[in-house]
Amino acid sequence: MSEQQDLIPVRALNQVTYCPRLYYLEYVESVMPINEHVEDGIFQHRRVDDPDLQNRPRKDGDTIQTRSVQLSSERLGLTGKLDLVEEKDGSIYPVEYKRGDGPGGDNGRPDFWDNDAVQVCAQAMLLEDERGIAIPFGVLYYIGSKRRVEVPLNDELRAKTLQAIRSIRELSLLDAPPEPLPADLRHRCFGCSLATICQPEETLYCLERRNLTPAEESTAGITRVLPQGSEGAVLYLQEQGAYVSKRSEHLIVRKHGEEIQRVPIVGVQQVVIFGNVQISTQALGTLATLGVPLIFLTMYGRFVAATTPTIAKNVLLRVNQFKLFADPQRALTLAKAVVKAKISNQRTLLMRSLRSRSPDESTNGSENGRGSDEPAAREMAELLSRVDRICDPAVLLGTEGQAAALYFSQFSRMLKAAAPGRGFDFKTRNRRPPKDPVNALLSFAYAILLKDCFSALCTVGFDPYHGFFHVGRHGKPSLALDLMEEFRAIIADSVVLTLINNETLTAKDFMIWRESCQLTEEGRKRFFEGYEQRKSTVVTHPVFGYKMSYGRMLEVQARMLAAHVRGDIPEYTGFTVR
């Protein structure tokens, strides 16, 4: 082994034998999520990993047992901690503990899994180097069935173990992970902690999509790997002067010493703080430990910062992000995908809204009320058809601006709720600051959507401040703004229209001062309810065909962008609704 090569952890041989892609994501990209199976494995190993028992030989009947034995070999290029080393009747051998029942050895099945056998073989080879003796067998103990299985360390298994070491060296040199397992081995993906990151079926589908017929493409039949909806609620804290602390398993919100809210921490998915709200270090530490993002916004809703438990370890994703986004042509291709999705979704919302109006409300006199007959919709369709042919980022930006101007020129027609005076009169888009209730709602909705896009990108491991479309914006989370473009109309604008048209918000829910308009505290509460309701709305993914909430779709799109950046899939497709 050369001096430059790091020692390979023995457990990595198990992963690479089970699935080379699993190894690459865990050890090359350093993505190591925890799911219930991993948690159970940690719990089952609690006695083996007891620090009081490490490297301390103890006699159990006629057997000497030593737990947690750390060994390394420069010759093999391996290092690892052996769960248990037993010495009995002049023989010495490793014992590896595994959660689950194991294959069982009946109905023609083997007594042990190949990947487990490779791991215990590597442990025995380390022990051979340490003791200078030959070891003929190792032992696997399957905790679920409480079975001890003896594994013969024959030439075939030793050759397979050495090949696993070579495979790891080769995989570590790749710039992108290998393809997911073939169909006959796809059952191994069930229960894998990396399924939500690897997304094997989605990745293979994207690789094959170009060769599919329209009929095959419409029946993808992909299994959804992320939960359909978000688990837990978003806690919005906007009471100025409030103080958040932790007591037992609850977050306690007080103002002037009086408790005004008590929330079980286990039910919180995200905490959003507006303006002058204080939080204790104990509460902050607990949220970080549990992986609950804490988002800071100004009192008016402008994004300030976010705290995450730690910077994601998959630095290779960020290296590839910087490299790909620095390539003008590839950045333009990504930007076109996002702009196409944005224009398409704006046009869809426009057509839906105008189609739902009665014929006498339609300004063009169309009796069939078809939204696609609207001049603005037709012009947006024409702009959409040009996007793929654009070769200049400035032209793309101009096209996106034209489409937005057409869209907002018709926005007032989508507002069905009449209001006196300045209530919900919308003439044009304005901001910094917004001057009327509709613009105040739009700006606030975009700020809240931005923090969700920011969180999704951090979860995946991106640098949310380095984008491919909103470039050159100092201090702005450019990539979060890029991702947000796909969802502006279908989440943020849709919420605004619903709140106004259903009269959930009225003119009294806004404050106007010196040509600046903002929501009242009570108005914000109603907005949050409407926003979270929209995020929980279930919709079908346009490419993969499974159903998922809008909130989850943010993460799905972030993960598919990561798959493209890693080199897993040839192109990124923006999210659109029909």
Task: Tell whether the model's pLDDT for residue 568 goes beyond 70.
Answer: yes
Closest by alpha carbon to 191, among 99, 312, 83, 291?
99
Residue 422 confidence (pLDDT) = 46
Selection from 26-30, 147-151, 186-190 with the highest mean pLDDT: 147-151
Please report the pLDDT score of residue 488 as a whole number. Answer: 92
Of 314 and 89, more confident: 89
Per-residue pLDDT tens for 70-112? 999 999 999 999 989 999 888 899 999 987 788 876 666 778 8
Tokens at residue 367, please? 């009796």
The DSSP symbol for 32 reads -
pLDDT band at residue 33 using 50, 70 and 90 as cut-offs: low
Per-residue model confidence (pLDDT) at position 362:
41
Query: Helices 478-485 and 437-460: crossing angle, nearest 10°?
Result: 110
Mean pLDDT value across residues 508-519: 82
Q: Determine which of 226-240, 250-264, 380-394 has the lowest per-residue pLDDT on average.
A: 226-240
Partners of 80 in the β-ladder: 71
Q: Which of 48-62, 128-142, 260-274 has the lowest mean pLDDT?
A: 48-62
The greatest distance separating any two alpha carbons of the chain, rounded to the nearest whole angstrom, comes to 96
Q: Are 236 and 274 in contact (CB under 8 A)?
A: yes
Average pLDDT value for residue range 297-307: 77
Beta-carbon contacts of residue 533 (< 8 Å; ≥ 6 apart): none
Q: Which residue has the higher pLDDT, 400 or 304?
A: 400
The more confident residue out of 127 and 415 is 127
315-566 CATH: 1.20.120.920
pLDDT tens, 152-167? Answer: 999 999 999 999 999 9
| Residue 56 phi, psi (nearest 5) | -120, 105
Which residues have C-beta within 8 Å of that of residue 264, sequence separation ≥ 6?
249, 250
Output the pLDDT for position 159: 95
| pLDDT computed for residue 481 by the predictor | 93
pLDDT of residue 421: 47
DSSP 3-state of 269: strand
Write the CB contacts of 558 (distance below 8 Å, at least 6 apart in sequence).
453, 456, 457, 459, 460, 462, 483
Residue 416: pLDDT over 80? no
- Asked whether the predicted pLDDT for residue 229 surpasses 60, the reply is no
Specify the pLDDT at position 482: 94
What local confidence, expressed as pLDDT, does residue 479 receive?
A: 93
What pLDDT score does 366 carry?
A: 40
Say yes or no to pLDDT of 43 above 70.
Answer: no
Query: Which of 223 and 538 is assigned the larger pLDDT?
Result: 538
Element spanning 261, H or E: strand 258-264
Contacts of 508 (CB under 8 A, 6+ apart): 520
What is the chain's mean pLDDT, rounded?
A: 82
Is 8-174's fold the same as 233-307's? no
145-149, 313-317, 324-328, 453-457 — which is least confidently predicted?
Answer: 313-317
Q: How many CB atoms lie within 10 A of CB 129?
A: 16
Mean pLDDT of 462-476: 82
- What is the model's pLDDT at position 323? 93
Give the residue-averaged pLDDT of 31-59.
Answer: 55
The domain defined by 8-174 carries CATH number 3.90.1210.10: no
More confident position, 450 or 50: 450
Instruction: Output the pLDDT for position 37.
Output: 44
Cβ-count burial of 252 within 10 angstroms (0-12 exposed, 13-18 middle, 19+ buried)? middle
For the chain, the domains span: 8-174, 233-307, 315-566
What does residue 22 show for φ and ψ, rounded to 5 degrees? -60, -45
Q: Could you tell me the pLDDT band of residue 50, with boundaries at 50, 70 and 90?
A: low
CA distance 238 to 261: 12
* Mean pLDDT calculated for residue range 250-269: 84
Parallel, antiparallel or unpaired: strands 233-237 and 268-274: parallel
pLDDT higher than 50, residue 36 = no
Residue 135: pLDDT band with limits 50, 70, 90: very high
The top-scoring range by mean pLDDT among 181-185, 230-234, 481-485 is 481-485
**CA nearest to 504, candidates 488, 487, 525:** 525
Query: What local confidence, expressed as pLDDT, does residue 219 receive?
Result: 52
pLDDT digits (tens, 9 = 90+) for 171-214: 988 877 888 888 888 888 877 778 777 878 878 777 776 666 55
Rounded CA separation 444/433 (Å)? 11
Superfamily of domain 233-307: CRISPR-associated endonuclease Cas1, N-terminal domain (3.100.10.20)
pLDDT, tens digit (0-9, with 9 covering 90-100), for 110-123: 788 899 999 999 99
pLDDT of residue 449: 93
8 Å CB contact between 475 and 539: no
Residue 264 DSSP one-character state: E
Residue 368 pLDDT class (50, 70, 90 cuts): very low
pLDDT at 536: 87
pLDDT > 70: percent of the chain? 84
Tell me the C-alpha to C-alpha distance, in Å, between residue 362 and each of 215, 368, 414, 496.
Answer: 36, 10, 10, 21
Query: What is the rounded distance in angstroms from the CA atom of residue 80 to the CA atom of residue 69?
Result: 8
